């Protein structure tokens, strides 16, 4: 029988790495596909940039055979495609969208909401100049003497959606009047009345607490020209200050007058899917 020598040093075994797994070596799927072209992008990124889904989800669609390139079904997510290729998803042709930009501006007064002004006055594009290289434009309008929230973007589909009356995009304004408002006028506005271009219906209206009747908060979704000013002018009031404090779920929180910021991804999703 062989006895153990107590004086003999035992070799310490190196501890096993709990995160190391012995796996069979696999080939790189990129190497398995055809040699990539220098002027293309991988297919799953192409699908994702088309606004269909995320890149991870695009891999699943491609592997299921739901994507074709020039009429050929491609199941390799890393297959390179050129800009001249015709890519279809579930039978519909898709194309990557340009980079979308979404800026929220707290517009000051004495500023024009237009791309160019023949009189050389300051425009909202002058304020956001240098913010991005893409060509952006304002969604809707605020007149020169109205301050508050204004969205600028190059996303034409979203701009059309926000501007269309059927989506009833909510807007809150704070109105400062030249005299105390009559509570009876507030009730009449609340019930609805007619202007020269048709009936007017507001979503909510009320006197701002502590303003002694000079400040009124009003919520509307109609987008007719100068509609808030015209509402109060109809009842004999002059609007001295008009400020849009809420637009389509966006607020002026932490956004000083004359400044802008980029929308967060969460805010963009909210505008696209919940407005």
Beta strands at 137-138 and 146-153: parallel, antiparallel or unpaired:
antiparallel
Is position 143 annotated as part of the catalytic site? yes
Instruction: Count how many residues are written for the chain.
Output: 275
HEC-encoded secondary structure of the chain: CCCCCCCCCCCCCCCCCCCCCCCCCCCCHHHHCCCCCCCEEEHHHHHHHCCCCCHHHHHHHHHCCCEEECCEECCCCCCEEECCCCEEECCEEECCCCCCCEEEEEECCCCECCCCCCCCCCEHHHHCCCCCCCCCEECCCCCCCEEEEEEEECCHHHHHHHHCHHHCCCEEEEEEECCCCCHHHHHHHHHCEEECCEEECCCEEEECCCCCCCEEEEEECCCCCCHHHHHHHHCCCCEEEEEEEEECCEECCCCCCCCEEECCHHHHHHHHHCC
Q: What gap in Å lies between CA 190 and CA 168, rounded to an integer?
A: 17
The active-site residue out of 98, 117, 126, 143 is 143
* Active-site residue set: 143
């Amino acid at each position: 029988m062989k006895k153990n020598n107590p004086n003999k040093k035992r070799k310490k075994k190196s501890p096993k790495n709990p995160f190391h797994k012995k796996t069979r070596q696999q080939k790189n799927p990129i190497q398995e596909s055809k040699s990539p072209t220098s002027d293309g992008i991988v297919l799953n990124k192409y699908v994702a940039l088309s606004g269909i889904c995320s890149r991870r989800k695009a891999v699943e669609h491609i592997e299921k055979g739901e994507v074709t390139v020039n009429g050929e079904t491609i199941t390799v997510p890393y297959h390179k495609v050129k800009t001249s290729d015709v890519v279809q998803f579930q039978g519909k042709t898709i194309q990557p969208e340009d980079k979308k930009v979404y800026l929220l501006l707290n517009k000051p007064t004495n500023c024009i909401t237009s791309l160019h002004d023949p009189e050389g006055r300051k425009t909202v594009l002058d304020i956001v100049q240098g913010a991005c290289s893409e060509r952006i434009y304002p969604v809707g309008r605020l007149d020169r003497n109205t301050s508050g929230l204004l969205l600028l973007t190059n996303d034409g589909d979203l701009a059309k959606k926000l501007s269309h009356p059927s989506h009833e995009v909510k807007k809150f304004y704070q109105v400062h009047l030249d005299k105390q408002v009559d509570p009876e006028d507030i009730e009449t506005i609340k019930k609805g009345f007619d202007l020269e271009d048709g009936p007017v219906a507001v979503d909510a209206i009320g006197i701002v607490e502590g303003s002694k009747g000079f400040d009124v908060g009003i919520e509307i979704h109609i987008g007719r020209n100068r509609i808030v000013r015209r509402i109060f002018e109809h009842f004999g009031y002059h609007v001295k200050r008009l400020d849009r404090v809420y637009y389509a779920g966006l607020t002026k929180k932490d956004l000083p007058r004359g400044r802008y910021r980029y929308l967060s991804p969460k805010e963009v999703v909210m505008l696209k899917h919940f407005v």
